[in-house]
Amino acid sequence: MRIRFADSRPAATHALAITVAPGTLDGAGLSGLPESGRLLARTAASANRFDGETGSVVEFVGETDGVHRRLLLVGVGAKNDYERAGAALAAKLLVSGEKTLVVDISASASGSPVEAAVSLAFGAVLRSWRHDVYRTRLDTKQRPSLDEVVIVGGGADAPGLWAARESVAEGVMFTRELITEPANILYPQSFVERCRPLAELGVKVEVLGRDAMAAQGMGALLGVAQGSVREPQLLVMRWDGTSGTEPPVALVGKGVTFDTGGISIKPAAGMEDMKWDMGGAGAVAGTMKALALRKARAHVVGICGLVENMPDGNAQRPGDVVTSMSGQTIEVINTDAEGRLVLCDALTWVQKHYSPKTVIDLATLTGAMIISLGSEYGGMFANDDALADQLLAAGTAVGDKLWRMPLGDPYDKLIDSPIADMKNVGPREGGSITAAQFIKRFVDDGVRWAHLDIAGMVWASKPGATWDKGATGYGVRLLDRFIADNFEIKA
């Protein structure tokens, strides 16, 4: 979708939307319409019980500039949420037959018009994303028609600010693409190939295959992969916009491109959803793209542990003992608790090779997290209060919300093994916490670490404010904001 900013409304044929704040329908809120249009708008608003509530839309046909056209009122709410307003308009008109939408924010944009305009554009772009690659028989009325949004009233600085925000949108949409692709199309090697073009943006890409990982002693990750014909990959993406000597912030993503559960096989019902068990790695890849596109003045390395977990005759068995890259041994009680086995070796690798002071891992790790928090918050575990606060603030600012969960010695003891250093699962209760305790054992002393269990967040069964059903792109905005607020060199 193309975004343009203008000082005045274009003369071409288009739909017109007016942004409305609560309580302004009888005043300046409809100043962008002629008197006859205002009366019609108030009548339509009254009939729909509309008063500028966030993301609400009223549609009617009226005359402006001598032309009868589709007119819309969209609410920005008491908090001036232009992002949701833009998303609501995109959802309303995406397959409407309209090709161009003009949105006039002049009457409602109190505060910062440029921020309002850019936020509206951001919401519209995110909500309009679709993945129709495999849909060959779409009816004409089901196909997206809206291809341009023109925003009036944002001011001269809007295009410059939009360039940076658009980069984040591109990262979110890249993550959605990776998560949406089926497992026969997206597997460890093809995930890597999707990410190789990031090198054209200045990201340094390194890939370790099975032999290279075996030489590093990554027995935990390789144990998960041994039942699949797909070779595992450790994808390393480094963006350095500082040209300095400080160690990078490390982002580590679980990338199980399909998870059958292995020998501890999952129930058949719903197993198709396990194509998105690489959502953590997808978020890391999308973040790296966003940082590179907007030329972030930060030093970040993204690590994706990419495997497929299959129940082959060579697959890992419950009761096997594997040796991780850290030298710690793990009794594999359940082969469906595989993500932590991937993460622990990826964490060890990045700490050994880059010596980061801050590490964030992301994973669709446990069903227990969905039981705890549903799809409203990602779970966060951290060994540092300041780091936790930084992540909570970033999540709140962009809408990728987090909820901090506990850690502690009593939980840690639940994963002690009688024959190895640890088990890969504890009892049923506190399953998300014992998983985090497992990962924590692989974090070096002095390293600030947070584990984000995003199992309930990467895929949506119903439309949300800025996404349709399917992949949400959760994590990209969170990480980008976290980096921008806390690690980016200011101009």
Annotation marks residue 294 as catalytic: no
For residue 332 the two structure tokens come to 């594999």
Separation of alpha carbons 157 and 114, rounded Å? 6
Q: Are 409 and 434 in contact (CB under 8 A)?
A: no
Separation of alpha carbons 427 and 416, rounded Å? 11
Helix, strand or coil, per DSSP, at residue 391: helix
Q: 20 pairs with which residues across the strands?
A: 75
Catalytic hit among 165, 238, 294, 340: 340
Separation of alpha carbons 219 and 309, rounded Å? 14
Separation of alpha carbons 269 and 72, rounded Å? 42
Helix, strand or coil, per DSSP, at residue 401: coil
Annotation marks residue 340 as catalytic: yes
For residue 378 the two structure tokens come to 């990602």
For residue 38 the two structure tokens come to 């205002």
232-271 burial, b at 16+ Cβ within 10 Å, e below that, comes to bbbbbbbbbbbeeeeebbbbbbbbbbbbbbbbbebeeeee
Separation of alpha carbons 87 and 465, rounded Å? 7
Separation of alpha carbons 79 and 395, rounded Å? 17
Q: Which of 399, 395, 473, 378 is nearest to 55 (CA)?
A: 399
Separation of alpha carbons 437 and 415, rounded Å? 8
Separation of alpha carbons 220 and 464, rounded Å? 37
Q: Are 335 and 322 in contact (CB under 8 A)?
A: no
CA distances from 180 to 79, 252, 384, 403 (A): 32, 20, 34, 26
Helix, strand or coil, per DSSP, at residue 148: strand
For residue 490 the two structure tokens come to 């200011």
What is the CA 301 to chain-centroid distance, rounded?
A: 17
DSSP state of 282: H
Q: Are 20 and 30 in contact (CB under 8 A)?
A: yes
Catalytic hit among 69, 130, 266, 404: 266
Element (H, E) at 162: helix 158-180
Separation of alpha carbons 432 and 439, rounded Å? 11
For residue 64 the two structure tokens come to 């402006």
Cβ partners under 8 Å of residue 370, min gap 6 = 455, 456
- For 190-212, give the DSSP string: HHHHHHGGGGGGT-EEEEE-HHH
Residues known to be catalytic: 266, 340
